[in-house]
Structure 1
Amino acid sequence: MKLEVLCNVENCTYWAEGNQCAADSIFVVGLHNNDADSVADTACKTFEPRKQ
């Protein structure tokens, strides 16, 4: 099953046209003891800056 993952961080290595994430997998963590109550409490660990 293909899962659509959207991302608007254009300077990420995995960003693709149409705000698509082209990573093989996504790793999201909670910022406070692995618990999250809102989007602000999470972070994408898959992010890698695009090489220029």
Structure 2
Amino acid sequence: MAKDVLCEVNSCRYWAQDNKCSASSIYIVSHSNKEANTSSETDCKTFEVK
């Protein structure tokens, strides 16, 4: 499991200093029902606006 999760979305409630993610878990999904092949085909469902 990743030791540090980095995030540059400072409008997220889980964004922390030094671009760290402070969420206790991360949920990533594909844009569609097919398998994602690139990061641009995914979304972070953990995001919550501040």
TM-score by length of 2: 0.91
Q: Structure 2: give runs of 5+ residues left out of the alignment.
A: none
Measure how far apart 1:35 and its partner are: 1.5
- Residues of 2 paired with 1:35 and 1:49: CA distance? 27
- Which structure dedicates a bigger proportion of its chain to helix? 2
* Count of aligned positions: 50
| Sequence identity percentage | 46
Stretches of structure 1 lacking an aligned partner (at least 5 in a row):
none
In 2: Cα distance, 1:38 partner to 1:2 partner: 19
